[in-house]
Chains A and B, each alone.
Chain A
Amino acid sequence: MNSAEARIPEEPHDVSRPHATHVVNYLAIFFTLVALTVLTVVIAFVDIQSEMAKVLIALFIASIKAWFVLTYFMHLKFEGKLIYVITIVPCLLCILVVVALIPDIVMTLPHMHTTSLHVFNDVVGAFHKSIGVPAE
């Protein structure tokens, strides 16, 4: 009839009541995470030349692990819309932060003398030259 009837009776705050728990095979999630950790370490020992490829692969595997932790350990799968929104907004903001940093990263190309990062590269380049490391 209305929501007041369907409500769960009030209880004192320091008493817990059994929730409608969701069956999650935590052990399976744990072993998945261990397997992905092992994979991350193994890939780190593979000789990948491209720095960007290394970073992206590592971040990709870490994101899969994070997804498992969020979905199953943190029960996000069984939560309502509000919790989803609270989680997704900071995640989108994180992506925005990283995207906002892209100009600082790509503008360190040698022909662009526009960013302070270029100074870093000059310093490191001069240093490596002084000790005889071949230029990349």
Chain B
Amino acid sequence: MSTIVDHGYIPEEHAPDPVTSHGDPLPPGKVAIWLFLASEIMFFIGLLGTYIILRSGQPKLFADQHEVLSKPLAATNTLVLIFSSLTMAMAVDAAHKLNRTKTIVCLLITFLCATTFMAIKSVEYYDKYHHYTVVASEGPADAKKFFVYDGHVHEPNADVMKLDGYKMEITGPSFNINLISEHEIDLMSNGGKHGDAKEFEIPRASIAQAIWYGPWKSNFFASYYILTGVHGLHIICGMIPIFILLVQAIRGKVKGPAIEYTGLYWHLVDLIWIFLFPLLYLI
């Protein structure tokens, strides 16, 4: 059966596919995954739009507060993700060439890279969880002096808070704790240069305000947590199919198209990080 009649019944399996009838065959799954990626791009540009607005409203705050984040950790994470993109591309290539061993090895490395990325991300989040800004007073009741501290605290609920960081004198207790950052206090208390962190002991009774570096710290950290958080969620969501494909490959089933579509998603997650890294950590 080789002719196609214009008017008449064409069994589904013989009908010319409207997508694949011209040029190379294009599987519907590929169209579907690209449409999904297009929707992902629009999802992230929405969040980046809020970032643009917030940043343009407070350029100095964004410039100061991003210094609190660790550039070496983020740069390492960028390299880990680019490397995982490489191994994912090689896994797709190996799967198409039906090279099972290479597919397994590449998928495994990709999965381990994703785990490493999330581990480093956790270290960053954990560091911020212990990072505090504190306003406290010193001296007798009639001549109180107020100070703002910024640094790492490991027992925030102890009677004496031990804070490893920087200290600066301020005018009063009603100081805006959200707008100051460790970087700014460091520079202002050391005459415009970076100084060494010192350990301070702050009695609990003298504390007027305290806040840790969560999303409520400032608009910068709100942007930071939503963008990296949603991106991290995408990493975890990518790890699930990679793991399933890995198990299937080990059991002997190398699913070329599925690996290819997962790979496309994985590259997009990498691509989004390529933009987040400079926007949140470097500029």
Residues on A lying within 8 angstroms of B by beta carbon are 1-5, 7-8, 10, 14, 16-21, 24, 26-27, 29-30, 33-34, 37, 40-41, 44, 51, 54-55, 58-59, 61-62, 65-66, 69-70, 72-74, 79-80, 82-83, 86-87, 89-91, 93-94, 97-98, 101, 104-105, 108, 117, 120-121, 123-124, 127-128, 130-133, 136
Q: Mark B22-41, 1 if CB is under 8 A from A, else 0.
A: 11111000110011011101
CB of B157 closer than 8 Å to a CB of A: no
In whole Å, how far is A59's beta carbon from the nearest beta carbon of chain B? Answer: 7
- For chain B, the bracket of interface size reads 35 or more
**A100 vs chain B, min Cβ distance (A):** 8
User: How far is it, in angstroms, between the C-alpha of A116 and the C-alpha of B257 when the chains are bound?
Assistant: 49
A80 and B24 in contact (CB under 8 A), knowing A16-B256, A69-B270? yes
Stretch in B121-129, B204-212, B221-229, B271-279 touching the partner: B271-279
Out of A4, A14, A65, A136, name the residue touching B16 (CB < 8 Å).
A4
- What secondary structure prevails in chain A residues at the interface with B? helix
In the assembled complex, the Cα of A90 lies from the Cα of B35 at a distance in Å of 10
- Are the CB atoms of A97 and B21 closer together than 8 Å? no
B85 touches A69 (CB 8 A): yes
B residues in contact (CB < 8 Å) with A: 1-4, 13-14, 16, 19-26, 30-31, 34-35, 37-39, 41-42, 45-46, 49, 52-53, 56-61, 63, 71, 75, 78-79, 82-83, 85-86, 88-90, 93, 95-98, 168, 170-171, 175-176, 179-180, 184, 188, 253-257, 263-264, 267-268, 270-271, 274-275, 277-279, 282-283
